[in-house]
Amino acid sequence: MNVVRAIGAAERRRWAVIREVASVMFGSLILVFRARSWPRTVRGQIGKQIMFTGYDALGLVTLIALLTGVSVVAQAQLWLTRFGQSDMLGPLLIAVIVREAGPLLVNFLVIGRSGTAIVTELATMRVHGQVHVMDAQGLDPMIFLVMPRVAGVAISILCLTIFFVWISLASGFVAGYFLETGAHDPAAFIQSVLKPIRIIDIINLLAKTLLPGMLTAVICCMEGLKISGIATEVPQAATRAVVRSISGLLLISALVSILTYV
């Protein structure tokens, strides 16, 4: 019976965390669509979050996209051309780069780079009493701390994923061109990639970028704000946030793929 009680208690805690995350996500969405009520400082926070999560990560995303393009796109061109299946290049690249690799790699990058930074920043504010001061002044942390980061991270992941897809496809074409393993006509290559794209692929891309982005930001904000005010809890909160964000990312990615393509 002790084992059963322990399992039941663990499940109750897990579902309580899921309900809390869902409620914060829903509340953030409501605030996002009430832009007219945002104070000027909130708009500045969203801009700063986009600059840090999106713009400052362009260099690393470019490097990963170049390597992905050379290793995946160029090899796909080589093998499909060798076996006389060059007409399958577009559908294969859409399935690998657009549907799966792009959103996953960008989300992993943002979780490791920006997610830990959000946890550390908010946890440090909690330790130094800044969150308590905001409460005392009547400033809602949900509006001034959580919502700007949720919106900024989600927008950044969407833009970075689109950027990643185009860079990886372009670098793969260039690598195939110089290695003489793929198409030599850029227009034909672009047409072969764009032709298989369907509305469901766009929906898939939006779902796999915006939803995990919001979830990552919510989890990181919650973990940062939930510490009791002791500095030694900051690394533990960051670790929990990363683990839960990655778990949520993989779960959402699998569910979206099943709902859109199965």
* 109 vs 175, more confident: 109
In a domain, 24, yes or no: no
Which stretch of 96-100, 109-113, 120-124, 150-154 has the lowest confidence by average pLDDT?
96-100
Q: What confidence tier does 81 reach under pLDDT thresholds 50, 70, 90?
A: low
Sorted by sequence, the CB contacts under 8 Å of residue 92 that are 6+ apart come out as 76, 80
Mean pLDDT lowest for which of 108-117, 187-196, 222-231? 187-196
Residue 78 lies in a domain: yes
3-state secondary structure the chain: CHHHHHHHHHHHHHHHHHHHHHHHHHHHHHHHCCHHHCCHHHHHHHHHHHHHHCHHHHHHHHHHHHHHHHHHHHHHHHHHHHCCCHHHHHHHHHHHHHHHHHHHHHHHHHHHHHHHHHHHHHHHHHHCCHHHHHHHCCCCHHHHHHHHHHHHHHHHHHHHHHHHHHHHHHHHHHHHHHHCCCCCCHHHHHHHHHCCCCHHHHHHHHHHHHHHHHHHHHHHHHHHHCCCCCCCHHHHHHHHHHHHHHHHHHHHHHHHHHHHHC
Task: Check whether 86 has a pLDDT greater than 70.
Answer: no
Looking up tokens 């490097």 gives: 63
pLDDT of residue 217: 95
pLDDT, position 1:
59
Among 168-172, 206-210, 219-223, name the one with the lowest average pLDDT.
168-172
* 58 lies in some domain: no
Count the Cβ atoms, other than its own, within 10 Å of residue 115: 29
Whole-angstrom distance, CA of residue 74 vs CA of residue 84: 15
Domain count across the chain: 1
Assess if residue 166 is contained within a domain. Answer: yes
The predicted structure's pLDDT at residue 83: 62
pLDDT tens track for 17-62: 888 888 999 999 998 888 787 888 888 899 999 999 999 999 999 9
Q: Kindly state whether residue 27 falls inside one of the protein's structural domains.
A: no
CA distance 64 to 171: 11
Q: How far apart are CA 110 and CA 163, in angstroms?
A: 14
In a domain, 225, yes or no: yes
How far lies 76's CA from each of 95, 96, 105, in Å?
12, 10, 19
Q: pLDDT > 90: what percent of the chain? A: 45
Lowest mean pLDDT among 86-95, 192-201, 224-233: 86-95
Confidence of residue 191 (pLDDT cuts 50, 70, 90): confident
Q: Is residue 227 part of a domain?
A: yes
Q: What is the pLDDT of residue 179?
A: 65
Express each pLDDT in 217-257 by its tens digit: 999 999 999 888 788 889 999 999 999 999 999 999 999 99
- pLDDT band per the 50, 70, 90 thresholds, residue 161: very high
Q: Note the pLDDT of residue 49.
A: 94
Q: Are 28 and 143 in contact (CB under 8 A)?
A: no
Residue 78 is part of which domain span?
A: 65-261
User: Tens digit of pLDDT for each residue in 61-75?
Assistant: 999 998 888 887 777
Interhelix angle 199-225/147-179, rounded to 10 degrees, is 130
| Domain assignment present for 19 | no
